[in-house]
């Protein structure tokens, strides 16, 4: 996931640099500066998040070797953002949107259960409502990686799955918040609001209980140049119509199995040794109603190397390595159809799907309902990077989707 996110981060960092140098080379009162990359309003943010850690699993509630309830957290951060310049198409369509890259440190209290992590993320926000000439209500999302959580050696003889709160030292980081922003002067502002945060390894390691937080954010912002005046969106040159997205992706995941074929067995599941490849293809036609909203349907084909292994478990002693009959190629395939909606804001689009499998001959693992949540990062008008997640039956962990696509 880091490699995909970093590509968009590099583009945004170059945009920040270009916007900063352009402003520095002109009079501070100029608003007609044109950066070759089509950006303006380079801004630096700094702040602090305070969070309440939700007790979503027994480890966070205090059922851990130290008997510690993980109850709170805090995260200092810094961010760099730019807007699309007013003379660009995206600047006209999304005048209040800003995007950039951020970094921070996430601490949990006490830290001896899950530890702390370094955050690196892309983010985007926009104005929801203008309260006054100086005060706006904004939303913002963050998506990236958290690195450095307390990790355990899964192969150690004393490893206990039930004491591992995160499952891996690196996880995905997702944050969504709503904030009030107040402009103290042309360049200086403050902001604060409420947010939710989620950390997860995306089922690439086991266990994957995840960490969820509710919190608040306070911060200060400084514009590196004279900001552009607030404007209304201009969609006069937009033409509604069909678009066709084709995306290919791959990832890896872990699987579990029931070591006892007796249905009354309640000793819990065990981990299938190894990691299993996942690959998929999505064909997604949509009708683009306006620059922000699109809706349509998709055909979702996926290959999962570890699917339906649990149904082919060979009963052995619990002290022996588990053995499985190898499944056929078709047992690892699934084909489904899904309804899709997409929200676009400048370089990024969030695509959400609800689907059901229509072909999954191998067994229950790939059958039934599924959900998809994807972030598309457009590096050109037509080429995009894909970072997403697939969930089965609304609450069962699935797999990451890391890939790229093309819009026709």
Query: What pLDDT does 69 receive?
Result: 85
What distance in Å separates the CA atoms of residue 166 and residue 201, rounded to the nearest whole number? 8
Question: Does the pLDDT value for residue 362 go beyond 90?
Answer: no
Burial 199-216 (b: 16+ CB within 10 A, else e): bbbbbbbbbbbbbbbebe
Q: Which helix (H) or strand (E) holds 81?
A: strand 72-84
Query: What pLDDT does 37 receive?
Result: 58
241-407 under CATH 2.40.160.20, yes or no: yes
* pLDDT band (50, 70, 90) for residue 21: very low
What distance in Å separates the CA atoms of residue 74 and residue 95, rounded to the nearest whole number? 32
Contact in structure between 62 and 50 (CB atoms under 8 Å): no
Question: Does the pLDDT value for residue 75 go beyond 60?
Answer: yes
Question: Does the pLDDT value for residue 198 go beyond 50?
Answer: yes
* pLDDT band (50, 70, 90) for residue 324: confident
The CATH code of the domain at 2-223 is: 2.40.160.20
> Whole-model pTM above 0.85?
no
Q: What is the pLDDT of residues 238-278, one digit of tens each?
A: 999 999 999 999 998 877 766 665 555 555 666 777 788 99
- Comparing 34-38, 306-310, 359-363, the range with the smallest average pLDDT is 34-38
What distance in Å separates the CA atoms of residue 175 and residue 122, rounded to the nearest whole number? 11
What distance in Å separates the CA atoms of residue 225 and residue 102, rounded to the nearest whole number? 19
Residue intervals in the chain for CATH 2.40.160.20: 2-223, 241-407
Contact in structure between 83 and 40 (CB atoms under 8 Å): yes
- Comparing 1-5, 36-40, 271-275, 299-303, the range with the smallest average pLDDT is 1-5
Task: Over range 138-154, report the average pLDDT.
Answer: 85
Q: Which helix (H) or strand (E) holds 313?
A: strand 313-314
Query: What pLDDT does 204 receive?
Result: 79
Query: What pLDDT does 286 receive?
Result: 97
- Comparing 9-18, 98-107, 205-214, the range with the smallest average pLDDT is 9-18
86 alpha-carbon distance from chain centroid: 28
Question: Does the pLDDT value for residue 22 go beyond 50?
Answer: no
Question: Does the pLDDT value for residue 3 go beyond 70?
Answer: no
Query: By percentage, how much of the chain surpasses pLDDT 70?
Result: 81
Question: Does the pLDDT value for residue 7 go beyond 70?
Answer: no
Q: What is the DSSP letter of 230?
A: P
Question: Does the pLDDT value for residue 160 go beyond 60?
Answer: no
* pLDDT band (50, 70, 90) for residue 78: very high
Query: What pLDDT does 169 receive?
Result: 84
Q: What is the DSSP letter of 60?
A: T
Helix (H, G, I), strand (E, B) or coil at 167: coil
Q: Which of 144-148, 320-324, 339-343 has the highest mean pLDDT?
A: 339-343
Task: Over range 300-329, report the average pLDDT.
Answer: 76
Question: Does the pLDDT value for residue 206 go beyond 80?
Answer: no
Question: Does the pLDDT value for residue 376 go beyond 80?
Answer: yes
Question: Does the pLDDT value for residue 126 go beyond 60?
Answer: yes
- DSSP assignment string, 82-150: EEE-TTSHHHHHSTT-EEEEEEEEEEEESTTTT-EEEEEEEEEEEEEEE-SSSEEEEEEEEEEEEE---
Query: What pLDDT does 167 receive?
Result: 74
Q: What is the DSSP letter of 5?
A: H
């Amino acid at each position: 996931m880091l490699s995909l996110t970093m590509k968009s981060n590099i583009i945004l960092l170059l945009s920040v640099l270009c916007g900063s140098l352009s402003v520095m080379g002109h009079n501070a009162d100029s608003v007609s500066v044109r950066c070759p990359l089509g950006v303006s309003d380079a801004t630096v943010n700094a702040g602090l998040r305070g969070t309440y850690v939700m007790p979503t699993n027994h480890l966070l509630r205090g059922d851990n070797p130290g008997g510690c309830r993980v109850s709170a957290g805090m995260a200092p951060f810094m961010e760099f953002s730019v807007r699309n310049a007013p003379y660009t198409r995206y600047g006209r369509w999304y005048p209040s949107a800003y995007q950039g890259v951020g970094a921070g440190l996430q601490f949990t209290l006490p830290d001896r259960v899950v530890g702390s992590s370094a955050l690196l993320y892309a983010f985007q926000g926009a104005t929801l409502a203008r309260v006054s000439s100086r005060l706006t209500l904004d939303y913002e999302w963050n998506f990236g990686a958290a690195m450095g959580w307390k990790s355990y050696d899964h192969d150690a003889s004393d490893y206990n799955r039930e004491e591992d709160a995160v499952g891996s030292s690196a996880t995905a980081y997702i944050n969504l918040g709503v904030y009030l922003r107040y402009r103290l002067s042309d360049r200086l502002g403050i902001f604060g609001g409420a947010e939710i945060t989620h950390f997860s390894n995306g089922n690439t390691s086991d266990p994957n209980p995840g960490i969820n937080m509710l919190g608040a954010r306070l911060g200060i912002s400084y514009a590196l140049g004279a900001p552009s005046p607030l404007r209304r969106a201009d969609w006069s040159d937009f033409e509604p119509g069909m678009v066709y997205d084709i995306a290919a992706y791959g990832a890896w995941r872990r699987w579990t199995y029931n070591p006892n074929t007796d249905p009354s067995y309640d000793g819990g599941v065990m981990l299938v040794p190894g990691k299993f490849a996942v690959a998929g293809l999505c064909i997604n036609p949509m009708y683009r109603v306006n620059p922000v909203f699109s809706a349509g349907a998709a055909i979702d084909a996926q290959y999962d190397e570890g699917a339906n292994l649990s149904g082919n478990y060979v009963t052995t002693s619990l002290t022996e390595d588990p053995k499985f009959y190898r499944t056929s190629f078709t047992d690892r395939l699934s084909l489904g159809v899904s309804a899709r909606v997409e929200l676009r804001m400048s370089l990024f689009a969030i695509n959400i799907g609800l689907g059901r499998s229509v072909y999954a001959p191998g067994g229950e693992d790939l059958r039934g309902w599924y959900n998809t949540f994807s972030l598309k990062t457009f590096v050109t008008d037509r080429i995009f990077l894909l970072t997403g997640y697939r969930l089965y039956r609304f609450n069962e962990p699935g797999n990451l989707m890391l890939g790229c696509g093309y819009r026709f």
